[in-house]
Amino acid sequence: MELLKDRIKKDGKVLSEHVLKVDSFLNHQIDPELMLAIGKEFAERFADEKITKIVTIESSGIAPSVMAGLYMKVPVIFARKRKSLTLNDDLLTATVHSFTKNETNEISLSKKYLSNEDRVLVIDDFLANGQAALGLVEIVEQAGAQIAGIGIVIEKSFQEGAQLLKEAGLRVESLARVASLSNGEVSFVNENVEELV
């Protein structure tokens, strides 16, 4: 998605070879019009998947998900993150480790909003190690619902998340795929070249 890649080039801050900060338009300050364009792009890419629900995780997944839900005319459910949860029969839960923050959280979602008739699009802002996305997939599968695909705003293709998800048989659509953050610069995966190979 060129609009997003241009914005990352313009406003993204490369903090290290592994950390790209985009808190001026996605993670802290949010550009609503960019979110609308992102939502539209997800809706187009997953148009044939008969999606009934979008599942994301607080907080940065919410804005792009709500815009995708607007175009797809489906509800969005955001999983909550907690250090630890008191046992609750009404919740679907999974454990997610964040390598970036070096912390482990329980993520949870109320049982009543997913059923075995749902086809779910999982959306998140970043895909790095894939742990958050895998946790969301686990929760959706606990509900007996089907995963229609994973929609990612920014994929760090040099980390193993995308590979892990694809190996699990999941369709992954990432709107910007970062090949490297070396030398303080963002390089994207060259999608055109990839398609030819």
Query: Taking the CA of residue 176 as centre, how many other CA atoms within 13 Å lie in the half-sphere pointing to its CB?
Result: 21
3-class DSSP assignment, residue 190 = coil
Smallest gap from Cβ 94 to a second copy, in A, equals: 16
Q: Which of residues 130-169 bind a second copy (CB under 8 A)?
A: none
Q: 2-11 and 32-45 are packed helices; what angle lies between their axes, rounded to 10 degrees?
A: 140
Could you tell me the two tokens for 74?
Answer: 């489906």
- How many of the other CB atoms lie within 10 Å of CB of 74? 18
- Assess 113 for contact with a second copy (CB under 8 A): yes
- Residue selected from 6, 18, 19, 23 as contacting a second copy according to rule CB under 8 A: 23
Smallest gap from Cβ 172 to a second copy, in A, equals: 23
- Residue selected from 3, 11, 49, 62 as contacting a second copy according to rule CB under 8 A: 62
Instruction: In whole angstroms, give the CA distance from residue 121 to residue 197.
Output: 28
The residue ranges that bind a second copy (CB under 8 A) are 23-25, 28-33, 35-36, 58-59, 62-63, 66-67, 69-70, 73-78, 80, 109-110, 113
